Amino acid sequence: MSALATKRAVLAPGARFPDVALRDHAGNERWLSELVVGDPVVLQFYRGFWCPKEQAFLRRLVRLQDEAEVAYCRFISVSVDEPRVAAAFRAGLGARWTFLCDPDRVVLERLGLRETTDTVNDPYVPAVFTLFPDLEIHRAYDGYWYWGRPTDEELRQDMRAISRRIRPDWSAPTP
Amino acid sequence: MSGASSWCWFAHVEEPPDGATAAARVRDRDGHPAGALAAWVQRAKPLRDARRVDVRAIDPAGAPATISLVLPPPGVRLPFDDLAVQQARRDALAAPPFDVLSTLLRDASHFEGAVTVARGANVRRLAEDPFARIFPALVLEVEAGLFGRMPAPAGPTIERYGSAQPWPWDRFPTAA
């Protein structure tokens, strides 16, 4: 197994996702744990604004945010775009969650999420992780092929499973 | 400033009050004195008109700032879950972040205003304060010693983490 494959292999359900720091779309440094705090998370790595598959997937996430905004969960999107590019893409999409930026590809290397087949843009390989608040990975999706990405329903199921485990009052209090 | 509580008391007063945790004089955009703003980190309500504000907004060592202070007209009450207030929260998340943003509360169910703090190039964006579409906004120059800088909300949550917590405070008590 290559070093790259080994790195990616540890990003599997049950493992703890590394707590990394990157600049957000406004240029401020943000730690993953600081963004997650106490909620379930959809952590998405995308190639860049230019990719039609990412445009299609992110438009789906934007529709899903109308549920997420009242469901106490968080979305985080990560790419190699500069903050100004990420901010423009986010604004164009109408996304209301945090976009993180890794133009120097430092975290990309640490996580082993380089898309080796794209030597022009050198982007993240598309991947989605659903996380518990302590960054434990609930499920990992390899989005290299579009159908490898989670459906809206799978994300709902993941958010439900994580919420059920972390919310002590998941069962409504009764008299 | 942060601590065990998610909020502290906040009020627009005539003079910086004794006993406040932080206070600063304010001027309107024409430079005329416009009283003072004060915050109290304490359980007891210090003034009748005091409102709850996200405690992360307050920093006694904070730099001067320009703010948009939205307050309901006297006698006007609007539910916090009113569609207009929901949309203002969405719009605030969609826009580039300010140094501080907090809604203001007096109870668990009503929107009692908002404060948005800007510095530098962001000051001009205060004219786009989404909460100013709900109630009139006072744009004020605030001296040093009151407002800090808080992390931008992660999004996309527009709900409060408990009805007593000013949005965008971002965690339930068990996650603090």
Rg of the Cα trace of chain B? 15
SS3 A96: coil
The ipTM of this complex is: 0.90
B64 vs A: CB within 8 A:
no
Asked if residue A32 has pLDDT above 60, the reply is yes
Query: What does the alpha-carbon distance between residue B170 and residue A55 come to, in Å, rounded to a whole number?
Result: 28
C-alpha angle A9-A153-A124 in degrees, rounded to nearest 5: 35
Shortest CA gap A53–chain B (Å): 22
pLDDT value of residue A8: 66
Query: What does the alpha-carbon distance between residue B119 and residue B123 come to, in Å, rounded to a whole number?
Result: 6
Closest CA to A42 of A140, A113, A145, A108: A140
Average pLDDT, consecutive stretches of 10 residues, N- to C-terminus, chain B (176 residues): 77 96 97 98 95 97 98 95 98 97 97 98 97 98 98 96 94 72
A93 vs B: CB within 8 A:
no
pLDDT value of residue B176: 47
Smallest Cβ distance to B154: which of A65, A74, A168?
A74
A99 vs B: CB within 8 A:
no
DSSP-assigned states of every residue in B24-53: EEEEETTS-EEEEEEEE-SSS--STT-EEE
Query: What does the alpha-carbon distance between residue B97 and residue A27 come to, in Å, rounded to a whole number?
Result: 10
> Which of A24, A30, A69 would you mutate first to test chain B, the one with the most B CBs within 10 A?
A69
The answer to whether residue A134 is domain-embedded is yes
Shortest CA gap A37–chain B (Å): 7
A62 vs B: CB within 8 A:
no
> Which of B54, B170, B174 would you mutate first to test chain A, the one with the most A CBs within 10 A?
B170
Shortest CA gap B76–chain A (Å): 26
pLDDT value of residue A4: 52
Asked if residue A5 has pLDDT above 70, the reply is no
Any idea of the CA torsion for B140, B146, B152, B154, to the nearest 10 degrees?
Answer: -120
The residue behind tokens 């002590």 is: A168
pLDDT value of residue A7: 67
> Which of A28, A29, A36, A37 would you mutate first to test chain B, the one with the most B CBs within 10 A?
A37
Shortest CA gap A28–chain B (Å): 9
Alpha-carbon dihedral sign for residues B129, B29, B64, B10: negative
Is the separation of the CB atoms in B71 and B113 below 8 Å? yes
What's the whole-number average pLDDT of chain A? 95
Q: Which residues of B are less than 8 Å from A70 in CB distance?
A: 157-159
Asked if residue A97 has pLDDT above 60, the reply is yes
| Composition of chain A by helix, strand, coil, percent to 5 | 35, 20, 40
Residues forming beta bridges with residue B39, ordered by sequence position: B10, B22
Q: Which residues of B are less than 8 Å from A168 in CB distance?
A: 174
pLDDT value of residue B53: 98
Provide mean pLDDT across the span A90-114: 97
B172 vs A: CB within 8 A:
yes
The answer to whether the CB atoms of A73 and B157 lie below 8 A apart is yes
The answer to whether residue A127 is domain-embedded is yes
What confidence tens digit (pLDDT) does each residue in A112-133 have? 999 999 999 999 999 999 999 9
- Report the CATH number at residue A11: 3.40.30.10
The model carries a pTM of 0.93
The answer to whether the CB atoms of A97 and B175 lie below 8 A apart is no
Q: How many domains does chain A have?
A: 1
pLDDT value of residue A174: 84
A125 vs A9 pLDDT, higher one: A125
Asked if residue A143 has pLDDT above 70, the reply is yes
Q: Hey, how many other C-beta atoms are within 10 angstroms of the C-beta on A151?
A: 11
Structure tokens at B78: 């609007």
Is the separation of the CB atoms in A159 and A71 below 8 Å? yes
Q: Which residues of A22-38 are buried (b: 16+ CB within 10 A; e: fewer)?
A: bbbbbeeebebeebbbb
The answer to whether the CB atoms of B171 and A38 lie below 8 A apart is yes
Provide mean pLDDT across the span A27-52: 97
| Domain enclosing residue A133, as ranges | 3-164
Q: How many C-alpha atoms does B81 have within 13 Å on its Cβ side?
A: 7
Query: What does the alpha-carbon distance between residue B78 and residue B13 come to, in Å, rounded to a whole number?
Result: 23
Query: What does the alpha-carbon distance between residue B102 and residue B117 come to, in Å, rounded to a whole number?
Result: 9
The answer to whether residue A169 is domain-embedded is no
B48 vs A: CB within 8 A:
no
